[in-house]
Amino acid sequence: MDEIKQKLLTNKENIISQLKSATRETSFDKDKVQTKWQNLGSKDEDNAVEVADFQDNISLEKNLEISLEKIEKSLKRLEDGTYGQCEKCGQAIEEARLKAYPEASVCLHCTAK
């Protein structure tokens, strides 16, 4: 469990670092767009690139925030002793799955359903 906790904490640090460089804020809310706007110029081509980059960054921000939320939930489950239990069926999540994807909250059987 120590190895998994360390992996979760490392992943959390990496995601926070990415979010800090991509957003205007230091606290992250998956329901609020905080992506930085990059001003490249006033030409139509520049504006088109700005909009496209902004849209890509919004998608990246949302995905990072969702990943951060999953990691935080996994860390909380580690603290309260429920980590490794499937949230749907209550059975143990496969060890190989947890090592590959420590944020997993459901077993492979329930994922397949």
Residues 40-87: tens digit of each pLDDT: 556 766 567 666 776 777 788 888 889 999 999 999 999 999 999 999
Q: What is the pLDDT of residue 37?
A: 47
Task: Report the mean per-residue pLDDT for the chain.
Answer: 83
Q: What is the pLDDT of residue 25?
A: 63
Q: What is the pLDDT of residue 22?
A: 74
Report the Cα–Cα distance between both ends of the chain, in Å, rounded.
27
